[in-house]
């Protein structure tokens, strides 16, 4: 264990391997030779209509979306709990209908709070 924090989940339980570091909690791996920077604040994530999203915003689905590995479908207009922006292919981490999911920003619109 070390005093580093995971850039994905901010947990401090990490394992040092040869050439990389791995988070015990979420499994995220990153290079240990490059310092972990907070570039997420510089990144701009926009919804399907070009509105800038931020942590804590509430979003709604703009089309029906079938969840992979499940028979469930997120319907148009389904609202999320407050979102969290994350790095990766799916920019949004949130809960919809009691399910924790990762979403691409192109499938949601920002809802006026």
- pLDDT value, residue 40: 47
The residue that leads in pLDDT, 113 or 9, is: 9
Residues 77, 54, single domain; the answer is yes
Q: What pLDDT does 61 receive?
A: 96
Both 63 and 90 in one domain: the answer is yes
- Are 54 and 80 in the same domain? yes
Mean pLDDT within 24-48: 71
Same domain, yes or no: 31 and 50:
no
Q: Are residues 22 and 67 in the same domain?
A: no
What is the CATH classification number for the domain harbouring 21? 2.20.25
Burial of 61 (C-beta count, 10 Å sphere; 0-12/13-18/19+): buried
Give the CA diameter of the chain. 47
Burial class (CB in 10 A: 0-12, 13-18, 19+), 34: exposed
Examine the domain organization and report whether 7 and 24 are in the same domain: yes
Per the DSSP assignment, residues forming a β-bridge with 27 are: none
Number of domains in the chain: 2
Q: Do 48 and 24 lie in a common domain?
A: no
Tokens, residue 27: 């499994």
What's the CATH code of the domain at 93? 2.30.30.40
Share of the chain above pLDDT 90, in %: 47
Q: Is the pLDDT of residue 41 over 70?
A: no
Instruction: Give the pLDDT band of residue 111 (cuts 50, 70, 90).
Output: very high
Answer yes or no: is pLDDT of 37 > 60: no
Q: Looking at the structure, do residues 13 and 62 belong to the same domain, yes or no?
A: no
Adjacent-strand bridge partners of 92: 85, 103
Residues forming a β-bridge with 59: 110
- Which range scores top for mean pLDDT: 29-33, 37-41, 61-65? 61-65
């Amino acid at each position: 264990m070390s005093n580093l924090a995971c850039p994905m989940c901010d947990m401090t339980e990490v394992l040092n391997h040869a050439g990389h570091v791995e988070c015990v909690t979420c499994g995220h791996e990153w290079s240990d030779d490059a310092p972990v920077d907070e570039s997420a604040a510089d990144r701009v994530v926009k919804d399907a209509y070009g509105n800038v999203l931020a942590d804590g915003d509430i979003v709604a689905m703009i089309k029906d979306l079938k969840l992979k590995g499940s028979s469930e479908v997120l319907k148009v207009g389904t609202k999320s709990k407050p979102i969290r922006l994350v790095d990766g292919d799916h920019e949004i981490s949130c809960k919809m209908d009691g399910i924790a999911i990762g979403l691409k920003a192109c499938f949601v619109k920002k809802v006026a709070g």
